Chain A
């Protein structure tokens, strides 16, 4: 099990051993540190500190941030004036450890950089198009601070890009019922490789089928190793 930044002790193993693990994790380069991810997403997009991910919907952005927030980390949302606090809380985001900057205005880059300094996951909806240079500045900052940037929108260089291909709600019919659950097909793009499709279901972001699993793990190894 990779050492996470959880503040809990496993009572079944010796304390000294766990302490050693944690010290070892802290001595490593911060960029290699894994960041807690929701169980449903952990083998699709395992988050790593110091990298950038792009998503195309607010629900995916919330899902990526939820794992770390559940594990006791601080998360922030910049440039999201339509933050749904209740949906975030339902996903497990701890609102008392959430920072919102709905309208950073023209200083959005400075604000994001300052948030990256202190928060573990920053979700950004860039108000303008971003060039390589700007992204590079933020990238180096991310690596220094061992934070994760989740961009809801376009970004020049990302570790992985999640895009919703199709989505279907079940529950309502013609005037009866209510929204209950949702299934969506999400493509994960990594670099120039062909996208890998996954089925996710809401509420509570679960992975539905395990068909593409073998390919994923193979790809992950080659990506991280």
Chain B
């Protein structure tokens, strides 16, 4: 089996630069824990090396672009390269981001050199400039061959030529195996071995006795006898379904009726793979040209009937007159439909959608439904309430955007002295509305520094400003106070400015509704309602 390895050097830097939108020619390094993990050619030319500390690297090259490490990003950015190669030759295996292996295309492209040239051309067309290709009998040799190649070039090791090719390669290449490899290389260097050929010349038994199974495996690799295979990823199955009409149909009803079996087949075919479609693109072709294409989303998943409905709606919306011909007569370019195709756009596991026998439908369904709402009105418009510690009602709760984790919550299990006892208010106003509270003689009620209330609250009213009912800047009528409790004084964050001394009151109005009012340094405000 011949193996082709495609290697994109310094892939982390390439991917990070692309994400950061910086020029691929600028010197850059990806850092992990303040140590250079990967750097690119321009940075190496300035003296930046892997394993250097950040300040050393910056001292060597002040204009060095520093990028954070992110393995997910590397893998994500490598996906298009894999797809490109997969189009030319299926059975691609990703060894790690930046390195992929595929069974070398045989005589299809004429020769292996032409095959390498074709792959190289395709990947460069995809926007990746630096790639090197190696072709050999085994994976290890192919990788080493790729490393010896120039940018956008290739090295082909002839069949049976692995051992002679590997002979001259320095033993340091084994360091890429991780800590185990680095330890082995250091030992071998101390033993005086300089190249892979030196290692391969040692007797196999002796190597196994001295260096163990790993050492023996490395020796086999160095001798061009690498037995490791790679698991190629399976291309996703073809799940489209289509139906052709001969002669072409021009009435919506006839088309709808005729797509029934196909819709059933489409759903059954997905079900065979334990899948359901939640988004389907319906395409209608007329005379070989797609004349109507639309993606339909389903809150749960499509069954055959839903699909037939979608076809009906799609064709009818495209067609005002009731028949496609009528539309044609009205001037729009519409021809009889000769083909309808269903393309699954979003496919999910059927297990997540099954109606649960015990308990309600799965939470995944809710997640997806809520994600749809977020798609409509924005990520931060859908929230999840969480409780946290605090003194005022609004401080005791936090609203976290759906799908995000709540961070930096205040602990709930502390006493929080000064918080208002009793049942929690049902309505907590995000923006407190300013209010007025007066005593018998109409004087503003205050709280002294020692927590004494200057007068008995008799009447109160909301002045407005906040949102919600009655908060349009107009003052509401005065309401007599039926009962009141308080004050609960607090002086929060006095060490760092804070809001100043304030006190909270529970006030029951004449209509029997209770409110939570705050007397701050600036005046009264309405914080919450007990409703």
Please give the residue numbers on chain A whose beta carbons come within 8 Å of chain B beta carbons, in ascending order: 5-7, 9, 19, 22-23, 26, 57-59, 62, 72-74, 81-90, 95-105, 107, 110-111, 114-115, 117-120, 166-169, 171-182, 184, 202-203
Segment touching A, from B8-16, B227-235, B253-261, B365-373: B365-373
Chain B contacts of A5 at CB under 8 A?
359-360
CB pair B397–A85 under 8 Å, yes or no, is yes
Q: A7-B359, A57-B531, A84-B397 are in contact. Are A178 and B512 (CB under 8 A)?
A: no
Known: A72-B360, A82-B428, A98-B384. A111 touches B512 (CB 8 A): no
List, in ascending order, chain B residues with CB within 8 A of A98's CB.
384-385
- The reply to whether B456 and A174 form a contact with Cβ atoms under 8 Å apart is yes
A81-B468, A82-B430, A84-B426 as given contacts; A172 in contact with B360, CB under 8 Å: no
Q: Is the CB of A203 within 8 A of B423?
A: yes
Within 8 Å CB of B288, what residues of A? none
Is residue B407 within 8 Å, beta carbon to beta carbon, of the partner chain? no
Determine how close the nearest CB of chain A comes to the CB of B430; give it in whole angstroms.
Answer: 6
Per the bound structure, the CA–CA distance linking A95 and B508 in Å amounts to: 28
Chain B residues proximal to chain A, CB less than 8 Å: 299-300, 355, 357-361, 363, 365-366, 368-370, 372-373, 376-377, 381-387, 393, 396-397, 399, 402, 420-430, 453, 456, 467-468, 483-486, 506, 508, 511-514, 528-531
Q: Is the CB of A175 within 8 A of B512?
A: no
Please judge, given known A-B contacts A101-B383, A171-B485, A175-B456, whether A26 and B366 are in contact too, CB under 8 Å. no
Output the residue of B368, B381, B423 with the most chain A CB within 10 A. B423
| Contact present for A87 and B358 (CB under 8 Å) | no
The reply to whether B381 and A167 contact each other, CB–CB distance below 8 Å, is no
How long is the Cα–Cα vector from A55 to B529 in the complex, in angstroms? Answer: 17
B contact residues around A22 at 8 Å (CB):
357-358
**Residue from the set B360, B511, B530, B531 with the largest chain A CB neighbour count within 10 Å:** B531
Closest partner residue, chain B, to A117 (CB atom) = B299
CA A88 to CA B426, docked complex, whole Å: 7
Binding site secondary structure of chain A? mixed
Contact B366 A19 (CB under 8 A): no
Please pick, from B355, B399, B429, B485, the residue contacting A178 in the complex, using a CB distance under 8 A.
B485
- Tell me how far the C-beta of A201 lies from the nearest C-beta in chain B, rounded to whole angstroms: 12
Chain B residue with Cβ nearest A57: B531
A172 touches B506 (CB 8 A): yes
Q: Is the CB of A114 within 8 A of B530?
A: no
Q: Which of B366, B376, B386 contacts A110 (CB 8 A)?
A: B376
* CB-CB under 8 A for A172 and B530, given A82-B429, A118-B368: no
Expressed in whole angstroms, the Cα–Cα distance for A95 and B511 within the complex equals 31
Inside 8 A of A178's CB, which chain B residues have their CB? 420-422, 485, 506
Closest to A170 in B: B483
**With a CB–CB cut-off of 8 A, which chain B residues contact A19?**
357
A169 CB, min distance to chain B CBs, angstroms? 5
- Chain A residue with Cβ nearest B506: A179
In the bound complex, do residue A118 and residue B299 qualify as a contact, i.e. CB atoms below 8 Å apart? yes
- In the bound complex, CA of A101 to CA of B374 (Å): 9
Known: A5-B360, A169-B514. A175 touches B381 (CB 8 A): no
Given A110-B376, A118-B299, residue A169 in contact with residue B512 (CB < 8 A): yes
The docked-state distance in angstroms from the alpha carbon of A22 to that of B359 is 10
Collect the chain B residues with CB atoms within 8 Å of residue A175's CB. 453, 456, 484-486
- Distance, CA A220 to CA B369, complexed state (A): 34
Bound complex: CA A54 to CA B366 (Å): 24
The CA of A82 and the CA of B427, in the complex, are separated in Å by: 5
A-B pairs with the 5 shortest C-beta distances?
Answer: A118-B369, A7-B359, A172-B485, A86-B424, A85-B397
Shortest beta-carbon distance from A33 to chain B in Å:
11
A85→B387 contact, CB < 8 A: yes
Residues of A within 8 A of B467 (CB): 81
For the complex, what is the distance from the CA of A90 to the CA of B381, rounded to whole Å? 25
Mind listing 7 A-B residue pairs with CB under 8 Å? A72-B359, A86-B393, A100-B383, A100-B385, A102-B383, A172-B508, A182-B514
Q: In the assembled complex, how far is the CB of residue B422 from the closest CB belonging to chain A, in whole angstroms? A: 4
Residues of A within 8 A of B511 (CB): 167
* Chain A residues, CB < 8 A from B383: 99-102
B384 touches A100 (CB 8 A): yes
A169 in contact with B387 (CB, 8 Å): no
Cβ A179 vs Cβ B422 within 8 A: yes
Q: Are B427 and A58 in contact (CB under 8 A)?
A: yes
A73 to B372, CA, bound (A): 19
- Expressed in whole angstroms, the Cα–Cα distance for A118 and B402 within the complex equals 15
Contact between A111 and B377, CB atoms less than 8 A apart = yes
Q: How far is the CA of A57 from the CA of B485 in the complex (A)?
A: 23
CB distance from B362 to the nearest CB of A (A): 10
